[in-house]
Chain A
């Protein structure tokens, strides 16, 4: 799907004049912090990921501890967000759920970026047959929406968190591959690359030391922008029953269970949904901020 992010990437490619064209890392971070939306996003993410990592220590209860006679309890000191249909503490489940939802999202995000960048680079530099083959594969995978393809692959593999991660990773890397390839192709003709080649430097060296560092940043920006969407996709598949199995707490799965009690205990469904929304919001804000920093004219 095209959007300002993609335009940004292609524009960036055009604007590259010298190897060290992009803003050095340190002032990037400072610029980021000064931007209000990015700051808000960063705070949200840091807090949530922090809470997720610290869950085993800060959660008031064992997330799987049942107390059936105390089900649907209203919020209290004992259970700050009440209990679910089996009497388990909702807050503890949300915190532990965060670990799985957020960390899986980050892991898959890193994986698809890595694969996408690698494949795109190979295609861009390889040219000819390799390029054609890889891009055909990309086209095929892009011909279908990630959700449906991910659903099909994960459905075939069977339920389980690992299968979910593999299923989505297997189909979601294509966008980055195409982006990366485009960037590589755009940059290949640049003078500094020509001169490096004229100097007799081997292809791979040119790629890794000179070209890559310059064009990787836009791809990473897109990656960040897409992380929110990735979280939503993973949660959606989890909601459909693929992913963790009971009794493990995870936001998408909790939402799915809560659906059964829609009319009598809607809070079971509201909490995990809100958690997903806030986390996705954090990623989106951060991604937006990153993009603003790189190209303020689009603000």
Chain B
């Protein structure tokens, strides 16, 4: 078990390095002149040739590519991702400043998804093929098809423009959080509901459930004690993955709701060709995701140790 965990963590290092390479590589794609860009943004005018040289030196732009990568990587390992070409401020600082807002959004979206989905999924499984079940499956199908950005705009039209109940932009109190969380969470609710349902259905057919029933234990107890707990295994890990997924989807919702999160920062940086910010963001996001997937794996491990052994036997996709 410990060996497995250690192996997993060891594997992460080359992956992380790969992410940094990818991030750095991306910026070689783009055109434009980051030094001139920086000057224009912070001073509001074109630089003179001398000023341009000074800016280039400041950002190490005059050094060869491999050297720049290594310098940057050295900094990245220590948490220093360089300075933004748009504002001149440290990238890490900007990212950390805005990350809590994205976390808030992803967490709220996950809560919405879970609170809506699990009860519905459970009920649908229990009352299989009933009207509720049909509706759930239909609704879930629909929810997975709606573009989150469209949903966000529809919610704004309904709740902000027509009913004037909720604000349409900005981060503030709970009322500012509701619409973005709904826009993010409803789509995922669909998926979680289906997963809960199918997972529970599968468990309910399992042998040990049959055994429990045969022993005469009441149906309710069967469900509560045996079925649910085991069915929740994959669901819990799914929630972890959903949270990670939402962190990615949040970018669009952040733009629509003018939410001060990292996703919006990244999109703006891409438009502004702020290479350091884009690189830093990719590394930052990559790190977060790697940690999340590690956490999910560990949780799954804790919930169901059988899986590891089975996995080790099968050289299948892990």
Which A positions have Cβ atoms within 8 angstroms of B? 1-4, 6, 10, 13, 37, 136-137, 139-141, 143-149, 151-153, 155-158, 178-179, 181-182, 185-186, 228-229, 232, 235-236, 239-241, 255, 259, 262-263, 266, 269-270, 273, 276-278, 280-281, 283-285, 288, 298
- The smallest beta-carbon distance between B293 and chain A, in angstroms, is 8
Q: Which 10 A-B pairs have the closest CB atoms?
A: A145-B248, A182-B317, A140-B18, A273-B150, A155-B270, A280-B145, A156-B29, A281-B145, A156-B30, A182-B316
Complex alpha-carbon distance, A263 and B150, angstroms: 14
Besides A178-B317, A277-B150, 18 more A-B contacts (Cβ < 8 Å) are A1-B245, A3-B238, A141-B22, A143-B289, A144-B19, A144-B285, A152-B26, A152-B278, A232-B145, A232-B148, A235-B147, A239-B252, A241-B271, A262-B161, A273-B150, A277-B142, A281-B142, A285-B141
Which B positions have Cβ atoms within 8 angstroms of A? 11, 14-16, 18-19, 21-22, 26-27, 29-31, 141-142, 144-150, 153-154, 156-157, 161, 191, 194-195, 198, 202, 234, 237-238, 241, 244-245, 247-249, 251-252, 255-256, 263, 266-267, 270-271, 278, 282, 285-286, 289-290, 293, 314-317
The answer to whether B316 and A10 have CB atoms under 8 Å apart is: yes
- The smallest beta-carbon distance between A136 and chain B, in angstroms, is 6
Q: Which residues of B contact A147 (CB under 8 A)?
A: 248-249, 251-252
The chain A residue sitting closest to B292, CB to CB, is A143
The chain A residue sitting closest to B316, CB to CB, is A182
The answer to whether A152 and B144 have CB atoms under 8 Å apart is: no
Grouping DSSP codes into helix (H, G, I), strand (E, B) and loop, the B interface class, with mixed when no group exceeds half, is helix
The answer to whether B271 and A155 have CB atoms under 8 Å apart is: yes
The answer to whether B19 and A143 have CB atoms under 8 Å apart is: yes
Q: A181-B317, A228-B144 are in contact. Are A236 and B195 (CB under 8 A)?
A: no
Q: A152-B270, A182-B316, A281-B141 are in contact. Are A255 and B150 (CB under 8 A)?
A: yes
Q: Tally of A-B residue pairs with Cβ under 8 A? A: 161
- The smallest beta-carbon distance between A290 and chain B, in angstroms, is 14
The answer to whether B286 and A144 have CB atoms under 8 Å apart is: yes
- The smallest beta-carbon distance between B273 and chain A, in angstroms, is 8
User: Which residue, of A3, A140, A285, has the highest number of chain B Cβ atoms within 10 A?
Assistant: A140
Checking A145, A278, A281 against B245 with a beta-carbon cut-off of 8 angstroms, the contacting residue is A145
Q: A2-B241, A157-B29, A239-B252 are in contact. Are A266 and B157 (CB under 8 A)?
A: yes
Grouping DSSP codes into helix (H, G, I), strand (E, B) and loop, the A interface class, with mixed when no group exceeds half, is helix
The answer to whether B147 and A276 have CB atoms under 8 Å apart is: yes
Checking B29, B153, B256 against A273 with a beta-carbon cut-off of 8 angstroms, the contacting residue is B153
- The smallest beta-carbon distance between B126 and chain A, in angstroms, is 16
Complex alpha-carbon distance, A236 and B29, angstroms: 22
Q: A144-B289, A273-B154 are in contact. Are A280 and B147 (CB under 8 A)?
A: yes
The answer to whether A186 and B314 have CB atoms under 8 Å apart is: yes
Complex alpha-carbon distance, A274 and B81, angstroms: 42
Checking A141, A145, A178, A255 against B149 with a beta-carbon cut-off of 8 angstroms, the contacting residue is A255
The answer to whether A145 and B289 have CB atoms under 8 Å apart is: yes
Q: A152-B26, A155-B270, A156-B30 are in contact. Are A10 and B191 (CB under 8 A)?
A: no
- The smallest beta-carbon distance between A102 and chain B, in angstroms, is 14
Q: A140-B18, A255-B149, A255-B150 are in contact. Are A13 and B316 (CB under 8 A)?
A: yes
Of the A-B pairs whose beta carbons lie under 8 Å apart in the complex, a sample of 24, sorted by A's number, is A2-B238, A136-B14, A139-B15, A143-B19, A144-B282, A145-B245, A147-B249, A148-B248, A148-B282, A151-B266, A152-B266, A152-B282, A153-B26, A155-B278, A158-B31, A232-B147, A232-B148, A236-B148, A236-B252, A269-B150, A273-B153, A277-B150, A285-B141, A298-B198
- The smallest beta-carbon distance between A43 and chain B, in angstroms, is 15
